[in-house]
Amino acid sequence: MTEKTFTEKLITVQCDLKAPKGQRNDYGKYNYRSAEDIVNAVKPLNKEQGLLLTLSDKMILIGDRYYVEATATITDGETSQNYTAYAREAAAKKGMDESQITGTASSYARKYALNGLYLIDDTKDADTNEYKQQENNVKKINKKQKEELERNFSKIADLRKISTKSVEASYLSLIHFNGKIEDLDTDSHYSLLKKTEEKISNIEKEKLSEINRDIEADS
């Protein structure tokens, strides 16, 4: 029997994973899953497939606000896959000191990263909505930020020879957003801008490699 590829191992874990909602919010009267719930549920599945999961995060200052950038990485020792997510620190939250505020943002960012890596849909969870709505003054993107994203969508479309609309729809679906670009908040803008810039860079590197191979073949 041939050994599974890295992709096959990851698909097996994604299909077998059942992450329970092991946390309870008594005030809101709902159950939800935390990053710890996901990690505990996936550990034995990763072990079966010979995969290692690591989590890391770092602080990023954008304007006058801090964001936590969390990355979930899974590897079999040779090949790896990662997913990065972001959460903004609240300016203030009743009953929490600064370290607790940072810890809360880190927990949510890690949860979002794990959701992306293991294809867990938490968009309807009450705690997800609660966190997204924890500040009433969430800033929407401005005209310049909208144009930045549109340029990147158009650039990817040109490089891939596909429609700009399909690129836009694909990236908006990544963040489970069904509205218009101009209705994005600044958190989502930053995330999409980074993802699209990385994609453009990767495509351009691929095309350059193809050109070099063609030159070598002709020489």
Q: What is the pLDDT of residues 30-48, one digit of tens each?
A: 777 888 999 999 999 999 9
Rounded Cα distance between 77 and 90, Å, is 37
Which stretches of 161-219 are DSSP H helices? 164-174, 186-218
For the segment 13-37, the average pLDDT, to the nearest whole number, is 81
Give SS3 for 133.
coil
Has residue 137 got a pLDDT over 50? no
Question: If pLDDT is split at 50, 70 and 90, which confidence band does 101 have?
Answer: low
Has residue 155 got a pLDDT over 90? yes
For the segment 94-118, the average pLDDT, to the nearest whole number, is 74
The pLDDT assigned to 94 comes to: 45
Rounded Cα distance between 198 and 70, Å, is 16
Q: Comparing 79 with 133, which gets the higher pLDDT?
A: 79
Has residue 55 got a pLDDT over 50? yes
Q: 164-174 and 143-160 are packed helices; what angle lies between their axes, rounded to 10 degrees?
A: 120
For the segment 143-155, the average pLDDT, to the nearest whole number, is 93
The pLDDT assigned to 190 comes to: 85
Mean pLDDT, the chain, integer: 82
Q: Comparing 210 with 98, which gets the higher pLDDT?
A: 210
The pLDDT assigned to 98 comes to: 52
Question: If pLDDT is split at 50, 70 and 90, which confidence band does 122 have?
Answer: low
Highest mean pLDDT among 15-29, 176-190, 191-205: 191-205
Question: If pLDDT is split at 50, 70 and 90, which confidence band does 95 have?
Answer: very low
Rounded Cα distance between 126 and 34, Å, is 12
Q: Which helix (H) or strand (E) holds 148?
A: helix 143-160
The pLDDT assigned to 48 comes to: 96
Rg for the chain, CA atoms, rounded: 20
For the segment 160-184, the average pLDDT, to the nearest whole number, is 85
